[in-house]
Amino acid sequence: MAKPKGETYYMKRYNIAVIEGDGIGPEIVAEAKKVLDAVSYNEGFELEYKEYLMGGCAIDACGTPLPDETLRGALSADAVLFGAIGGDKWNSLPREKRPESGLLALRKGLEVFANLRPVKVYDELLEASTLKKDVIKGVDILVVRELIGGIYFGEPRGREGDRAFNTMVYSESEVERIAKVAFEAAMKRGKKVCSVDKANVLDVSQLWREVVTKVSKEYPNVELVHMYVDNAAMQLIANPRQFDVIVTGNLFGDILSDEASMLSGSIGLLPSASIGGRAAIYEPIHGSAPDIAGQGIANPIATISSASMMLKYSLGEEKAAKKIDKAVAKALKDGYRTKDISNYDAKDICSTEEMGSIIADLISKG
């Protein structure tokens, strides 16, 4: 955007904490930044990036998966853009010292209790899924996963002799706030919420079901159904179009959203936003993919789409977010494919870097 002549010109500036992490993290975050730079230039705002360590690279550099400086930086940022953490190198460490503990502590520290994971099937990629086209065409689901409670955080946990245990615990207020996020989202979408639990077996799920039902009374225009998690896992594959918003706990949401990612063709396509706290975190739903790290073949679209969610949810730059989404769809429509989605008529197999540049160029050219 050109600077207007003869006027004092104030450019909007946002402070973004960037955490590349491990494995493919640095490769995919670089492409998201490239795309963000193109769109911010285009739309007349500035992004100031501050880089922080977390995960395995932080363990190597500072001896801890979440250095204080990283948490402080994230707390003072307008938003956090994150790649992924983890890898075999750190797998033998005790749980508290492992890379994943850094991410859990960051989520907890920022109090981001709601993880939004949109699952959309691009028409251009109908062939990339292992499922039949007529089953997945038109799928548009939002998984709302509770992120800082449940079995990943419950106490007591640990090991005693030949036993190991974790505790799945939710309070009414924790369920109420995540249910509200789901119903609010449904109001702006297809007005349907499916709450997933295991209420036929777990006490914690019975409480979950009661509270979600109570919250639903505030949203008479939204249809609520309850589904057991085992059935939901099956229904996602059998008839995914029945779902609009799925709300569920931390563990079930983790598993179901990975499953749902395969509707779209690759885990490398799906973004996420973790919101509700002091600064939101935007990250792909996949991990650090050590099996392909350093090869330049990772799909950066999940991270680029996460950057789009950041513009929309944290910075209020909706127009810029739409430009990214449009450019991603156009790149796919034009036949550009990274290796993970290239099992048919790809124009060319793109590297991570090429895919980022194609999307950034589409934005720059308008």
- Residues with catalytic annotation? 152, 198, 230, 254, 258
Q: Which residue has the tokens 């989605």?
A: 341
| Burial 21-39, CB ≥16 within 10 A → b, else e | bbbbbbbbbbbbbbbbbbb
What is d(CA 204, CA 171) in angstroms, rounded to the nearest whole number? 9
**Of residues 337-356, those binding ligand NAD (CB under 6 A):** 340
Contacting residue, 100, 111, 176, 361, with ligand NAD by CB under 6 A:
100
Nearer to ligand NAD, 227 or 263 (CB): 263
Distance of closest approach, residue 42 Cβ to ligand NAD, in angstroms:
25
CB of 92 to ligand NAD, least distance (A): 12
CA distance 168 to 204: 7
In angstroms, give the least distance from the CB of 224 to ligand NAD: 29
Q: State the binding string over 259-278 for ligand NAD (x if CB under 6 A, else -).
A: --------xx----------
Among 257, 288, 305, 306, binds ligand NAD (CB under 6 A): 288
First and final C-alpha spacing in the chain: 12
Select 73 or 287, whichever has its Cβ closest to ligand NAD: 287
Q: Which pair of structure tokens corresponds to residue 47?
A: 């992004």
Contact call for residues 65 and 85 (beta carbons, < 8 A): yes
Q: Which is nearer to ligand NAD, 248 or 266 (CB)?
A: 266
| Distance between CA atoms of residues 141 and 143, nearest Å | 6
Cβ proximity to ligand NAD, 216 vs 299, nearer residue: 299
**Least distance from C-beta 213 to ligand NAD, angstroms?**
31
* Nearest distance in Å: CB 332, ligand NAD: 14
List the helix and strand counts (H, then E) for the chain.
12, 14
Restricted to residues 26-55, the positions that interact with ligand NAD (CB under 6 A) are 28
Structure tokens at 132: 């039949």
- Asked whether 40 and 13 are in contact (CB, 8 A), the reply is no
For ligand NAD (CB under 6 A), the number of binding residues is 22
Cβ-based nearer residue to ligand NAD, 150 or 287: 287
Draw the binding track, 227-266, toward ligand NAD (x: CB under 6 A; -: no contact): ----------------------------------------
Residue 205 or 299: which CB sits closer to ligand NAD? Answer: 299
Q: Indicate the residue type of 20.
A: E
Q: Which residues pair with 272 in a beta bridge?
A: 283
CA 252 – CA 244 distance, rounded (Å) = 17
The one segment of 3-11, 66-74, 203-211, 288-296 that binds ligand NAD by CB under 6 A: 288-296
Site string for ligand NAD, 289-318 (x = CB under 6 A): xxxx-----xx--x----------------
Annotate 74-102 with b (16+ C-beta within 10 A) or e (fewer): bbebbbbbbbbbbbeebeeeeeeebbbbb
Residue type, 331: A
Chain positions 122 to 151 lying near ligand NAD, rule: CB under 6 A, are none
Shortest approach of ligand NAD to residue 5 CB, angstroms? 44
* By the rule CB under 6 A, 85 interacts with ligand NAD: yes
Name 60's Cβ contacts closer than 8 Å, sequence gap at least 6: none
Q: How far apart are CB 3 and ligand NAD at their closest, in Å? A: 37
Measure the CA–CA gap between 318 and 45, rounded to whole angstroms: 12
Q: Compare residues 24 and 74 and give the one whose CB is closer to ligand NAD.
A: 24
Contact status, residue 93 vs residue 59, Cβ threshold 8 Å: yes
**Contacting residues toward ligand NAD, per CB under 6 A:** 24, 28, 84-87, 100, 103, 267-268, 283, 286-292, 298-299, 302, 340
